Amino acid sequence: MMHKLTKKTVFYAVTVLIIAGVLLLNVGFHALAAKGLWFIDFAIPRYLSQEGTLYTVSDSCLTLLENNLPGAIDAVNDQRAENGEDPLKVEIIFCTDPDVLNQDQYTRYIHYTALGLQKEFADYIDVQYINIIKNPSAIQKFKATSATNIYPSNIIVSFGTEYRVFTVDSLFTSNDASSTDYWAYNGEKKLASGILAVTRAESPIACLTVNHGEPVLQQTEFLKLVEAAGFEVQTLDLYSDPIPENCRLIITYAPQTDFFGDPADDNDEIDKLDAFLDKAYSFLYVCDPETPALPNLDEYLEFWGITVAAKTDRAGMRENYLIKDDEANVDGEGYALIATYETLGKGASFTSDLRKSGYPPTVIFDRATAIKPAENYSITYVLEDETTNTQAYSYYSYRSNGITRTMHNILTAPATADGTVGGEIYEPAGQYPFGLMTLTVENRTTQETNYSVAQEPSYVCCIASTEFLSDTVLASDAYGNADVVLGTLRSMGREVIPVNLEFKAFMVYDVAETVTANNNPMTITIALAVIPALICFGVGIYVNVRRKYL
């Protein structure tokens, strides 16, 4: 009896040990796989890269960061050590849990890239996860204003007080800014760019032009947003001063006198501005109904598709429109307009994060004039295409002498708004609403390798209301003006982009041709489930037969 009991005990013990061993093996292998990035992607084959290295950090990216990251971070941490402060790492923060990231094929790509960077630079990069639904206060420091929204899909690259917020869309390439039908993965380049941006010693400069009658802007909410977008703010006399080498954005706010323009003079301000934009940098122009005619600047802006809507009399005197809408306003008088978001095209991409919330914040333009496309810009239609998930929309374009520029609305007046002059309707609401905030893009193509190119655009953004940037509106949680401005400034910021990092294009195959018995995920799953069971079944039969004849 004791002998049988002992054998049964041994049997149960062995069974328990085997089960425990299998569980430990699974847990251990999962941990090692996560740490060592031992992944095989069995997603639909159209999402595999041409090189088969979608999740592998490229050698060029590693070399770039090896040459720049340690020195930048070590210098900061040496100073912190002298002050008795803890060392810092670059934090790549996902605003949701890792399981959620891995459920989606696109966020999984980004997640694995971040883990690969952490693996290669463990002393300098740390991947973190914050469930902002459960813990919204944890990302408060990454919100430039109390009205700024950060979503679970956002990725934050942070180092000390510097940070950059990325959307999933910005890490992929699609045929159209409003489409999520991605054809290439560009996350490696974007994340590397963000890491270099937050660790570099000097911030890019945003220059405010002076000596054209611009109002003095000091400690305003607008300038706080410029700084929150990662810029150092300086003033610039474009006539007498050279543009700083690290300047990426020039801002002209409500000028009252014209830019100096004389091609024969080395101090030609228009030439200087044009040469600056040729470097793929950006210009922000703010005007209102009281902005006077500025012949040189107005003529230059027309090359970028921008015309301030105005009534011009026979003597050549110009009076800008004052846009009024008796329905969509917040002041009861019709002048504080509730702007309409553009939902398609390049302009829509600047507000896509705000609109994804389901309840886009109200954006107000008080006492706004209007922006019209210049006469030499023609309307261009994009037709609906179900195969690429593209909806029909339109924009304005200009092509001449190898230059291609496109003008897009970011925000427009309500469809029922009228253009008034002297208190009377001069241009009633028509087929196309008046532009309140526009974006003109000139794309320049840079050859990166024999097989890939990069687009390095110049941006000119025009805002048709100085009240849009008033302290009262920007500081208010009730309106989305601050979020629109911050998103636009960041998009126009022109971070230093490493040009030697290639995007990873997806191979598009017919699934029926690609999924064979050798690589079909279902075949592999069945094999992994059935073969071990058959082996155990066979071993069991063998043991029973052997015991019967012993």
* Assigned domain for 387 exists: yes
Q: Count the residues in the chain.
A: 550
466-499 residue pLDDT tens: 999 999 999 888 899 998 998 888 878 655 555 5
Please say if the pLDDT value at position 228 is more than 70: yes
274 or 50: whose pLDDT is higher?
274
Report the alpha-carbon distance of residue 501 to residue 293 in Å, rounded.
Answer: 45
Determine, yes or no, domain membership for 111: yes
Q: Report the distance separating Cα 150 and Cα 155, nearest Å.
A: 9
Q: How far apart are CA 29 and CA 18, in angstroms?
A: 16
Q: How many domains is the chain partitioned into structurally?
A: 2
Shared domain for 426 and 295, answered yes or no, is yes
Average pLDDT over residues 224-253: 92
The segment with the largest mean pLDDT, out of 78-82, 174-178, 448-452, is 78-82
pLDDT over 80 (residue 311): yes
Check: pTM over 0.75? Answer yes or no: no
Answer whether residue 392 is part of any domain. Answer: yes
Q: Compute the average pLDDT of residues 149-161.
A: 88
For residue 345, how far is the Cα from the chain centroid?
Answer: 15
User: What's the angle, vertex CA 525, arms to CA 520 and CA 530, rounded to 5?
Assistant: 125
Same domain, 180 and 295: no
Higher pLDDT among residues 53 and 398, named by residue = 398
pLDDT of residue 450: 42
Partnered with residue 379 across adjacent β-strands are: 396
Residues 187 and 312 in one domain: no
Spell out a b/e string for 283-296, using b for 16 or more CB atoms within 10 Å of the CB, else e: bbbbbbbebeebee
Mean pLDDT of 9-19: 65
* Predicted local confidence at residue 533, as pLDDT: 66
Nearest to 391 by CA among 548, 235, 192, 175: 175
User: Could you tell me if 127 and 118 are in contact, meaning their C-beta atoms sit under 8 angstroms apart?
Assistant: yes
What are 35-78's pLDDT values in tens digits? Answer: 555 554 433 333 344 444 455 688 888 888 998 899 889 988 99
Same domain assignment for residues 342 and 473:
yes
Q: Does any domain span residue 98?
A: yes
Q: Does any domain span residue 166?
A: yes
Average pLDDT value over all residues in the chain: 82
Where in the sequence is the domain holding 433, given as residue range(s)? Answer: 286-491
Domain boundary, last residue among 466, 491, 516: 491
**174 lies in the same domain as 297:** no
The residues, any chain, with a CB within 8 Å of residue 456's CB and separated by 6 or more, are 280, 443, 444, 445, 446, 497
Q: Which of 199, 227, 257 is the last residue of a domain?
A: 199
Per the model's pLDDT, the better-predicted residue between 121 and 542 turns out to be 121
- Same domain? For 326 and 440 the reply is yes
Instruction: Specify the higher pLDDT residue, 14 or 265.
Output: 265
Q: Please give the pLDDT value at position 524.
A: 55
pLDDT for residue 297: 97
- Distances from the Cα of 228 to the Cα of 13, 61, 154, 232, angstroms: 63, 27, 17, 9
* pLDDT mean over 393-405: 89
**Range with the poorest average pLDDT among 145-159, 279-293, 388-402, 526-540:** 526-540
Q: Specify whether the CB–CB gap between 429 and 270 falls below 8 A.
A: no
For 162-203, the pLDDT digits (tens) are: 888 888 888 887 765 555 678 788 888 889 888 988 887 677
Pair of tokens at residue 545: 């037969």
User: Of the candidates 444, 469, 491, which is a domain's last residue?
Assistant: 491
Q: Same domain, yes or no, for 296 and 402?
A: yes
Give the residue-averaged pLDDT of 417-429.
Answer: 95
Q: Does the structure show a pLDDT above 60 at 447?
A: no
Nearby residues of 20 by Cβ (< 8 Å), 6 or more positions away: none
Identify which of 110, 104, 111 has the alpha carbon closest to the alpha carbon of residue 44: 104
Gyration radius (Cα) of the chain, Å: 29
Q: What is the pLDDT of residues 342-384, one digit of tens each?
A: 988 888 888 887 787 667 889 999 999 999 999 999 998 888 7
Beta strands 205-209 and 232-236 are parallel
Does 186 lie in the same domain as 78? Answer: yes
Q: At CB < 8 A and 24+ separation, what contacts does 132-137 make?
A: 132/95, 132/96, 133/96
Q: Are 233 and 226 in contact (CB under 8 A)?
A: yes
CA 112-113-117 angle, to 5 degrees, is 115
Reported as a pLDDT band with limits 50, 70 and 90, residue 392 is confident
Residue 59 lies in a domain: yes
- Any domain includes 175: yes
Collapse the DSSP code of 166 into the 3-class scheme (helix H, G, I; strand E, B; otherwise coil) and give the result: strand
- Confidence (pLDDT) at 46: 36
* Residue 539 within a domain: no
pLDDT surpasses 80 at 389: no
Q: What does the pLDDT read at residue 518?
A: 47
pLDDT in the model for residue 516: 43
